[in-house]
Amino acid sequence: DYRGAEFSTWHRDLKGNNDLLVLTQPDIIKEIHYKYLEAGADVIETNTFNAQRVSQADYELNHLSRRINLAAAKLCCEARDAYKAATGKRCFVAGGLGPLNRTASISPSVERPDYRNITYDEIVEAYTEQTQALLEGGVDFLLIETIFDCLNAKAAAVYGVDFLLIETIFDCLNAKAALFAINSLFDDKGLTRVPIFVSGTITDLSGRTLSGQTVDAFYASMRHGNIFCIGLNCALGCGEMKPYVERLAQLSEGFVSCYPNAGLPNAMGGYDETPEMMATSLLEFAENGWINLVGGCCGTGPSHIAAIAKAMKGVKPRPKGTTHHVLTLSGLEALRFTDEVVFCNVGERCNISGSIQFKKLVKDGNFDQCLAIARKQVEDGDINMDDGLVDGVVAMTRFVNLIASDPDVARVPLMVDSSKFHVIEAGLKCTQGKAIVNSISLKVGEEEFIRQASLVRRYGAAVVVMAFDEDGQAADCESKIRICKRAYDILVEKVHFPPEDIIFDPNVLTICTGMEEHNNYGVDVLNAAQWIKDNLPYARVSGGLSNLSFSFRGLEEIRMAMHSAFLNEAISRRIFAMAIVNAGALPVYTDIKPELLTLVEDAIFNRHPGASEALVTYAEKVKAEKAAGGGSATGPVAAKVEDAWRQTPVEERLSYALVKGIVEFIEQDVEEARTCGRYPAPLKIIEGPLMSGMSTVGELFGAGKMFLPQVIKSARVMKKAVAVLIPYMEAEKAAARAANAGTVSVQQKVLLATVKGDVHDIGKNIVGVVLGCNNFEVIDMGVMCPCEKILAAAKEHAVDVIGLSGLITPSLDEMVHVAKTMRKEGFKVPLLIGGATTSKVHTAVKIQPQYPDTIHVLDASKAVVVVSSLLGSDREEFLKEVHESYAEIAEDYLANMKDRVYKSLSQARDKRLAVDFTAKPPVSKPHTIGTITIDDFPLDQLVARIDWNPFFSVWQIRGRYPNRDYPKLFNCPHVGEEARRLFDEAQKMLSDIVQTRLFKAKGTVTILPANSEGDDIRVYSDESRSQIAGTFYGLRQQAEKDSDEPYLCLSDFIAPKGVAPDYIASMVVGVFGAEELSARYEAENDGYRSIMAKALADRLAEAFAEELHRIIRTEYWGYVQKEHGETEDLLKMRYQGIRPAPGYPSQPDHTEMRTMWAIGDVEARCGVKLSEHNAMIPAASVSALVFTHAQSKYFAVGKIQKDQVTDYAKRKGITLEEAEHDLSSILAYDA
């Protein structure tokens, strides 16, 4: 009964208002509190989860907020006091402040993403009233809990408590408001400061809060708030929460809490984890040293608390974390300025002062286009709303709210820029991440400077400090140093501002003004930046570069060359951490004309008295050339030549754009074609000029006059063209159906899928694009597609061809399974097989006997010919030829198999590689024993390690002798020009990926004691070698050899136990972010860039593996004192040791990867997962075992006999059938 006597006639439904029960059912609430104390709880919480006025307004009881909270606090305190009287144990009461039913960072309206239904100040008011009542009721501390919006939580207030807990944060903006209010009371009202606890919520297995922040970004957003303890609770069970708690424990400079749900909700909404299960899981967290405070959330009752309390007895808590003096900013993701982050661009396009276009859009209220500019900046920020005709507060609030609605923009940190501090505050009140304020300075006087700095810190932002004081702007080096030193001392000593959050702008001033005293401004700012770096610990330097070149406004080539040269110096000296610059317009330093580069560097560095005048003279020359219509090849004459095709008829323009891959004008040209009157229906435009253009592309591709990257670009143009016409075609179809006008003809359909368990799809995507270019409708099922899903889709879409793709060996078995099922279900459509692990031989021997109309397709260049033949008038003749050809292949293979001679397993073991570990002992003991986690390896260190040959293979760019391989490939007269073009575009995308950190390289290395035992390798938990952490099972060569060569197994390279102590390492690396980037390009109909992104991710993953192997050799294990580390040497394996991987020739069993993952806790540590068929996720991942003995070498096991498979199954504890399934690709017999 929620109503009780008092509210029996209340005009609103009160069911579900649990907070009201403290007034209507007080005895029941008090009894619940007491039961938790009896179970072993040290803290009980008031029943005030939704007791503030905002949530109570749903029941029109907002006027009772104070009364409810006061009553709840008294009930809880009575239970606490009664328990102490009975047992003598002191327990505590937490005043619970739960979430509002409104959020400050998410719009309730899809149509108005910038709208908010509650203000920051209203949040503060609601929490303040609730807090006062709870404290008056006698609570010991405050628990701000289950906040789904961190901005709301930041608005909570507190008076005189033992400590505070902000809990279950889904959105950091609301939580930051709570922290702001709390710290305002401590700092401004003189209340005694008490510890603050914060707890966030990872809402699902994406690893993000409800508002989209990662754990790292969440911590960065909360770090400023004088937090004693930070943790996670709710939404997930222990198992799902594990990696996020571990990560938070790595980040936290204070203490860590964790109280998960009793597992995930079941189908009925209940929770299934028993008290014992939950206690066991949390005990692991505690024993790993991750947590200090533990408990339970949803689904946990007194019995859970009792089990947890019992399990935790005697466990040593996590030591308090150490302070990290690293500038860390965040949007939805974190940006840490570690030593590896040399420099960061700050976009300047969202600045009224710096962009005429942006200024006009803001004045016109066109904020959607403003957001597009912001999105472009992120793809290729600084936000400034200072203008006399713009309401800065309104514009700043609206735009920052709008940014929060776009994840692509919101993922990066913001720089909130204004000369008006109240406008800066408006921006910070809408920012859930950790932003940068640009800027404050001493020109307002020390008192106001301290006030502004204190508020910036309270809002949780870093700050840019300009080199101004009461006397004005610092111009020379000495003045810059004096002002920055004074500001630093005030901030650190009086404001207690974290020094790592201080960024100085020592004033980049204009040179080449004609005034001699200005000539040294470039040198002065660089020297001042150097002094700041050397003398003001942890502080950073930034600056706006446009001032430097202001004398040359209108001459962009000179201005951008000056900016590039200045940054080249500043970055190489590592004295500027960031700069406000139009990065998209900057030329590459080495691409600047030598004459111009010499002139600008002479001027910037004031190398001689005439340097400034020389640059001015050059500028006058350029200006005169422009006025005369001359200039460089990028001038008007060149533009006229390049734009001549724009004057041709629309049909020719469409064809030209398709052949050349030009996307800029396609939408307007298609619209012109649609409305020109020559085409009665949109489909006629596709069938006419568009397909004519694509036919030309197909002919050029077939003749070898176009290459795959060009074809992919053409496909991008085609997709965008068709996207314009689709709405009109859909409308026509609807009208036709309504009028019973018959059916519309459709293209022939090809279904493509990467099979179950496999995540690799670059090749499949290329085939899809090429087929699409040739007027086939492609239905792409994506990756990891089970058989039933593939075949159901094939029936649903009535496809004409099914294509299966796979890269890993288990995919071959899955393809056989699909073929068998197709035959069983009576399919008649052809089946295509493709992918790196497939072959014509395997298709002929294993798959085609299961489904006769099966054809292996070597690569994309063959796909069109095969599909066209299968669906053309000569289909039967084509299939007859395929059947005969495959029958011959299978016959030859089986005949060869019969001729092969194999050693028995015992004979092969007798002729194993007998290493004399006494004469040639294992390498030295590793420097590091255990598992090392690499969370974010610098991508720029991997670029030089990339092996580009596989990249060109992906794109089917094949050079001819003697110019077959990279970089000689560029000299090939056949493909060299296209290879260079492809390489340059890859370099541009790679540069963007590295600079904007679109990808993240993560990995693990595990080094443990090991010894061999027969064909297996036992891996031990520690140096005692008493406990086996796992076993790697080996396979030995059996195919007879002509010479006396040994029959190898990987265990041969590890010393047997009792002979010598040995070790083994395993490594797993993954490059994250490619799938998201690729999906974004796919959404933009840009298949070319989608494939490029994945291809580059693969190259970075392989480069990461190569580099990590080098680090293992030289640092983690350290058995090599020094290596030259040249990329060519690494790629040619000119080093001691090998790194074979399960699933590859030395150990073809993919299931051995499971052991690697278990021993190294791989998924939890670095996020690389295994599919059910042991494919690594993300696809751009590499794994390997690391062997170090001088005699270790790569080899292929080859085919093996049944005696070894039987022995292998017995050793692994699996059935013979399971072993034959896992090893099917290397069986020398029919299983």
Distance CA 712, CA 718 (A): 10
What is the spatial distance between Cα 829 and Cα 345, in angstroms, rounded to a whole number? 54
Alpha-carbon distance values, 337 to 325, 331, 703, 789, 933 (Å): 10, 14, 51, 45, 19
Please name every residue paired with 383 in a beta bridge, in sequence order, or none if there are none: 350, 416
Backbone φ and ψ of 753, nearest 5°: -155, 140
What is the three-class DSSP state of 1189? Answer: coil
Buried b (16+ CB within 10 A) or exposed e, 104-116: bbbbeeeeebbeb
Tell me the three state secondary structure of residue 134.
helix
DSSP character for 2? -
* Residue 1094, phi then psi, degrees to nearest 5: -70, -40
Q: 1169-1208 b/e with 16+ CB inside 10 Å = b?
A: ebbebbbbbbbbbbbbbbbbbeebeebebbbbbbbbbebb
Q: Which residue, 837, 843, 838, 820, is CA-closest to 893?
A: 843
DSSP 1089-1148: HHHHHHHHHHHHHHHHHHHHHHHIIIIIS---S-----HHHHHTT-SS-B---TTBTTB-
Q: 935: exposed, middle or buried (C-beta count within 10 Å: 0-12, 13-18, 19+)?
A: middle
The overall longest dimension of the chain from CA atoms, in Å, is: 99
Contact by Cβ (8 Å): 798, 749: yes
Encode 1114-1130: b = buried (16+ Cβ within 10 Å), e = exposed.
bebbbbbeeeeeeeeeb
Backbone angles phi, psi at 1112, to 5 degrees: -60, -50
Separation of alpha carbons 1228 and 685, rounded Å = 56
Reported as type and span, the H/E element at residue 901 is none
Residues assigned a catalytic role: 758, 760, 811
Q: Given the DSSP bridges, would you call strands 350-351 and 382-384 parallel, antiparallel or unpaired?
A: parallel
Judge contact between 440 and 491, C-beta under 8 A: no
Helices in 774-859 by DSSP H: which ranges?
787-797, 810-824, 840-842
| Cα angle 481-486-490, degrees, rounded to a multiple of 5 | 150
Asked if 577 and 344 count as a contact pair (C-beta separation under 8 A), the reply is yes
How distant is the alpha carbon of residue 1098 from its chain centre?
15
Residue 536 β-bridge partners:
none
Q: How many C-beta neighbours within 10 Å does residue 331 have?
A: 28
Whether residue 1081 contacts residue 1090, with contact meaning beta carbons closer than 8 Å, is answered with: yes
Which two structure tokens, joined as six digits, stand for 542? 């930034």
Q: Count Cα atoms within 13 angstroms, Cβ side, for 565.
A: 24
Rounded to whole angstroms, how far apart are CA atoms 1149 and 1221?
A: 10
Q: What is the DSSP string of 160-191?
A: S-S-EEEEEES-HHHHHHHHHHHHHHHHHS-P
Exposed e or buried b per residue across 214-239, where buried means at least 16 C-beta atoms within 10 angstroms of its C-beta: bbbbbbbbbbbbbbbbbbbbbbbbbe
Collapsing DSSP to helix, strand or coil, 825 comes out as coil
Nearest to 1208 by CA among 1057, 1049, 1216: 1216
